[in-house]
Amino acid sequence: SSSETKALFERHRPTHVIHLAAMVGGLFKNIRSNLDFWRTNIHINDNVLHSAHESGVQKVVSCLSTCIFPDKTTYPIDETMIHNGPPHSSNFGYSYAKRMIDVQNRGYSEQHGRRFTAVIPTNVFGPHDNFNIEDGHVLPGLIHKVYLAKQSGSALTVWGTGKPRRQFIYSLDLARLFIWVLREYDEVEPIILSVGEEDEVSIREAAEAIAEAMEFRGELVFDTTKSDGQFKKTASNAKLRRYLPEFQFTPFRKAVKETCAWFNANYANARK
């Protein structure tokens, strides 16, 4: 609520804010609840940004998503293309709500001189993720599925064809980049935080990497009755590389292995 958000800002009086609050979920949760995603996230974003403005916060870094980009577009997508057309129909509520952060940031900059900006990560994963199979994102959901398939000795069923392609960013790498944006990045325009285009992997390849990390020897089955969602969302990290040409991302398989090890060690208490 706006009153609770305002009270939080008044109590802590932050000078800098990383805004991660959101209603989030995977493909199938979005398909079921587009209106809920729109309404909840519009309220959250307006409450946070307005409270930050009223309490004199020096800088806010909000978190967008590559799903905000137009469904019909050319690739790779970049920061200039956010508002060039409708997003994919599967998650239009979340996508439009996230786009509005960019609109608000520009408004607060032009009207009030505020240093509010946003980052656009690709698919984030890592320890402490939401590993819920129904409502979580694809990679943590697959990790949980592999765990259960290994326990029961059954096949691993992957929803969809396995052909869609994604750029995955390890949460620990993203955290380092967030701190850099908070301290050093002074543009109002968003910046994509992503591994390079060459590091894009298919859902099949991601499932195989998880199976290898968790030493799963069973069969992989693809349930093609389930939706694939958007085929690809290939993003350019050229702008990031202009700022940080030497930044080293954790290799995908190493990050998957560390995430799977965390999930195995913390299964009882992990969000699932």
* Selected catalytic residue, list 75, 94, 96, 185: 94
Tokens coding 6: 């305002």
Asked whether the beta carbons of 113 and 186 are under 8 A apart, the reply is: no
Whether residue 190 is preceded by a cis peptide bond, meaning omega within 30 degrees of 0, is: no
Rounded Cα gap, residues 126 and 39, in angstroms: 28
- Within 10 angstroms of residue 212's Cβ, the number of other Cβ atoms is 15
Distances (CA, A) of 25 to 29, 32, 90, 136: 6, 10, 12, 5
Distances (CA, A) of 166 to 24, 169, 231: 18, 10, 9
At which residue do the structure tokens 């520009």 appear?
A: 106
Rounded Cα gap, residues 55 and 11, in angstroms: 10
Give catalytic status of residue 267 as yes or no: no
Q: Which residues are catalytic?
A: 94
